[in-house]
Amino acid sequence: MEHLRLATRPDPRPGPGQVLLRMKAASLNYRDLVVPMRAYGSHTGTLPLIPISDGVGEVVEAGAGVTRAKPGDRVCPLFAQAWISGEPTPERLSRSLGGPVDGTMAEYMVLPEAGVSKVPAHLSDEQAASLPCAALTAWSAIVTHDNLGPGSRVLVQGTGGVALFALQFAKLRGAQVTVISSSDEKIARAKTLGADAAINYRTTPEWYKATREVTAGRGYDHILELGGEKTLPQSLRCIRPGGTLSMIGVLSGGMLSAPLGLVVTRQVRLQGITVGNRDGFEAMLRAIDQHRLQPVTDKVFQFEQLKEAMAHLKNGAHFGKVCIRH
Ligand SMILES: NC(=O)c1ccc[n+]([C@@H]2O[C@H](COP(=O)([O-])OP(=O)(O)OC[C@H]3O[C@@H](n4cnc5c(N)ncnc54)[C@H](OP(=O)(O)O)[C@@H]3O)[C@@H](O)[C@H]2O)c1
């Protein structure tokens, strides 16, 4: 965080096929803590870099030939600016915001019209700003790569940004959802969002054993793996044969010592997820609009308080999304 500086740049102007956004809000992801430490590989980009991948803005000017957006529209920039449809490729993954491409912590942004999507009217600016990375990642896991249906059993790890969107989307699909969390207070709040069962992984470190009762010994159809090193070995013990483990995060470490035989004998599908494309994002926006889904905002900071907001995220006391108002 000591590498972050408030700075002034000339106002950007949109060229042909581009839109100028006046940014209204941003939201933080775990990744935003890693990029300023220069610890995110090639995604760190060249300096100086405007941080933070997620946000929402109002179109204030459209360049020549723009048809996807007009002045007055409220839009989210896509997390992966070059990934519109289909499978990921190196080129499609090469232009993520907040590293290597300039991100959303700016008063104005210029983006290609293909790189923005209109957001549902019922969302506050902070809720809309929460969608590009965390929400799409959860949607890609649950809908794009699995198409979970009613009665499916799903396990979600923690109560951070990705986890609560996963809980909300899984409930939209009619799933039975178990949440694991370090806090009984957060567990109580997750239940008000629809969690059917919850286990405190601090007081029950071998939480996979406690899931046997929850799933009547059948195991989960889908587990969203956010912990990585410390959680994957347990997830492999409570996934059902033929189930899917969405490999999303490495909050507890990124190196692996796990009973890999279970992947084979249970025919488990290990599905890596890297956010998602614009087709998925816009399908998700339609579902959020249709169901008037309310993303969970933990706390809103002012633009000048970015470092305080990042410290709040790092501290892990949050429930849902940490946001910035521009
Ligand atoms: N692959 C992708 O495309 C993608 C996209 C977005 C994020 N991610 C990754 O997904 C992870 C979560 O991101 P986020 O932005 O949602 O983070 P976040 O909002 O900071 O969420 C962190 C929460 O995870 C829970 N947690 C931490 N350690 C845990 C553990 N060992 N076991 C279970 N839960 C644990 C805690 O919840 P409690 O306080 O309730 O315990 C913590 O508050 C990160 O590793 C991030 O890099 C990946």
The answer to whether the beta carbons of residues 95 and 81 sit under 8 Å apart is yes
Q: Is the CB of 226 under 6 A from ligand 1?
A: yes
Fold of the CATH domain 18-134+276-325: Quinone Oxidoreductase; Chain A, domain 1 (3.90.180)
3-state helix, strand, coil in the chain (%, to 5): 30, 25, 45
Q: Is the CB of 200 under 6 A from ligand 1?
A: no
CA–CA dist 49, 243 (Å, integer): 40
The sign one gets for the Cα dihedral 326, 58, 318, 185 is positive
Q: How far is C-alpha 306 from the geometric centre of its chain's CA atoms? A: 19
Region 146-272: CATH code = 3.40.50.720
**pLDDT tens, position by position, for the chain (326 residues)?**
778 999 999 999 999 999 999 999 999 999 999 888 766 665 666 788 999 999 999 999 999 999 999 999 999 999 999 999 999 999 999 999 999 999 999 999 999 999 999 999 999 999 999 999 999 999 999 999 997 889 999 999 999 999 999 999 999 999 999 999 999 999 999 999 999 999 999 999 999 999 999 999 999 999 999 999 999 999 999 999 999 999 999 988 888 888 889 999 999 999 999 999 999 999 999 999 999 999 999 999 999 999 999 999 999 999 999 999 99
Q: Is the CB of 134 under 6 A from ligand 1?
A: yes
How far, in Å, from the CA of 287 to the mean position of ligand 1? 23
Q: Where are the domains of the chain?
A: 18-134+276-325, 146-272
Res 43: pLDDT: 60
Res 3: pLDDT: 82
Angle, CA 160 vertex, CA 199 and CA 58 arms, to 5°:
155
How far, in Å, from the CA of 162 to the mean position of ligand 1? 7
The answer to whether the beta carbons of residues 50 and 102 sit under 8 Å apart is yes
CA–CA dist 177, 224 (Å, integer): 11
Res 118: pLDDT: 98
CA–CA dist 326, 189 (Å, integer): 28
Res 37: pLDDT: 75
